[in-house]
Amino acid sequence: MASAKYSLPPLPYAYDALEPSISAQIMTLHHTKHHQTYINNLNATLASQATATSKQDIVASLHLQNALNFNAGGHINHTLFWENLVPASSPNAQPTAAPKLAAALTAHFGSLEKFQEKFTAMLLGLKGSGWGWLVQDTETGNLELTTSRDQDIVPVGKKPILGVDFWEHAYYLQYLNDKASYAKGIWKITNWKVLEARYESGYEGVFGPLAGLRSSI
Amino acid sequence: MSATLFRTSTAARSALRAGAATRAASAASTSFVRGKATLPDLPYDYGALEPTISGKIMELHHKNHHQTYVNSFNTATEQLQAAESKQDIAAQIALQPVINFHGGGHINHTLFWENLAPSKNGGGGEPAGQLKTAIETSYGSLSSFKTKFNAALAGIQGSGWAWLVKDTETGQVQIRTYANQDPVVGKYKPLLGIDAWEHAYYLQYQNRKAEYFSAVWDVVNWKTVEKRL
Ligand SMILES: [Fe+2]
Ligand SMILES: [Fe+2]
């Protein structure tokens, strides 16, 4: 069957470019091992599913759905994550790179600092592996904070604007159990320019070449 | 098990003396004194499970992770008592996930430390007696049981635990996985638990979690598992 359908996107910066917020060792393992494994398992699951479909084996197909959600979610979430980070020295790491979003966040949360505090508190409240998200409701246009469990993607109708990986592999080699310091460090390397582009983009546009994959899970 | 999870008298008093919890002191002045959960001592040194589990992992895991579950569980139970005394049912319900998570974290880790042992103290080897029979009845052989258990560990999507449990209705043993810190409760009795959270292995094994899962059998304390049967 058609295999190796998806491949690991290159990082938009060097592995050590996010130091000291995220170490080069973490970035290397996270990208070349963890993200790659989601992609490998996604491609394997898609190949199995194609076989099941060709045999009209609905039961086998249903059993594969869980693995598809997990691994496609892992690929989509990590892709969004790498894109919404940037070296701290970049002008895009400043909220001034996102004038419209910053104004909307200030209007909604009172100030950017309050938004950041709420986002960090939400991350620290996760019970197990998962992600913290700033999303925009596509119907109301409202900005909302939400979490997703394991590798679940954000629900349909919520456009992801900022995603932060809060699995232990995302910070443990550097921060150990001090996950609060990792969470706070993210704000130094947030790519506000990308956040602004997602805020202004349509729903499908945020997912780029993975829009089709998103709609399949 | 409850004896190791709660130390009502001496430990609670010494914690209060140490000024560890002023809020507990005010709670204690109400009509009844509740036992506070405390971190149990490890039954072996931090380095005793090397090379299977590094001393650094054991120390962080016990002193920091397990301690945080204990502290957060105590905070949540104080909040629950306050909600109960106010007859605030909504607040009591809202606290359930936190109690489940941190209480589960405390119970799970306590069982985990006990069902591991350095090889010089009986870690590794094979189960004996009724436990051996029960495993062979359900899984054919110890090696096929281990293969299935490792596959269950590897299949956990996110954080969680794999357990060998006893079904108290049928008396049979089986492998079950639990998400996050969900405790083994209800009709299942926990026999052997392996922590599959990344903090349990990452400093030593990084993303090679399958190596941790196959190595951990070298430090399984089958005697303790057998006693739980
Ligand atoms: Fe990740
Ligand atoms: Fe743990």
CB pairs under 8 A between A and B: 55
ipTM of the prediction greater than 0.90, yes or no: yes
pLDDT tens-digit readout, A50-73: 999 999 999 999 999 999 999 999
Cβ within 8 Å, pair B207-A34: yes
Give the distance (Å) from ligand 2 centre to CA of residue A29.
21
**Out of A4-8, A84-88, B145-149, least confident range:** A4-8
Kindly tell me if the per-residue pLDDT of A49 is higher than 70: yes
Band of pLDDT at residue A4, cut at 50, 70 and 90 = low
Task: Point out the least confidently predicted range of A93-97, A115-119, B20-24.
Answer: B20-24
> In this structure, what CATH number is given to the domain that contains residue B57?
1.10.287.990
pLDDT at B14: 37
Same domain flag for B11 and B90? yes
Domain that holds residue A142: 91-208
For residue A77, the distance in angstroms to the closest alpha carbon of chain B comes to 14
Residue B51: cis peptide before it, omega within 30 degrees of 0: yes
DSSP A117-143: HHHHHHHHT--SSEEEEEEEETTT--E
pLDDT mean across residues, chain B: 89
Q: How many domains does chain A have?
A: 2
Please give the mean pLDDT across all residues of chain A. Answer: 96
pLDDT band at B29 (very low <50, low <70, confident <90, very high): very low
Percent of chain A with pLDDT over 90: 95
* From A70, A127, A169, residue closest to B202, measured CB to CB: A169
pLDDT digits (tens, 9 = 90+) for B36-84: 999 999 999 999 999 999 999 999 999 999 999 999 999 999 999 999 9
On whether both B46 and B95 belong to a single domain, the answer is yes
B154 and B77 inside one domain: no
CATH number of the domain residue B137 falls in:
3.55.40.20
**Chain A: nearest CA to B58, how far in angstroms?**
12
Contact B144, B151 (CB under 8 A): no
Q: Report pLDDT for A217.
A: 84
B1 alpha carbon – ligand 1 mean position (Å)? 36
pLDDT band of residue B20 (cuts 50, 70, 90) is very low
Query: Which residue of chain A comes nearest to B62, CA vs CA?
Result: A177
pLDDT exceeds cutoff 60 at B28: no
Could you give the number of structural domains in chain B?
A: 2
CATH number (domain holding residue A69): 1.10.287.990
In this predicted structure, what is the pLDDT of residue B45? Answer: 97
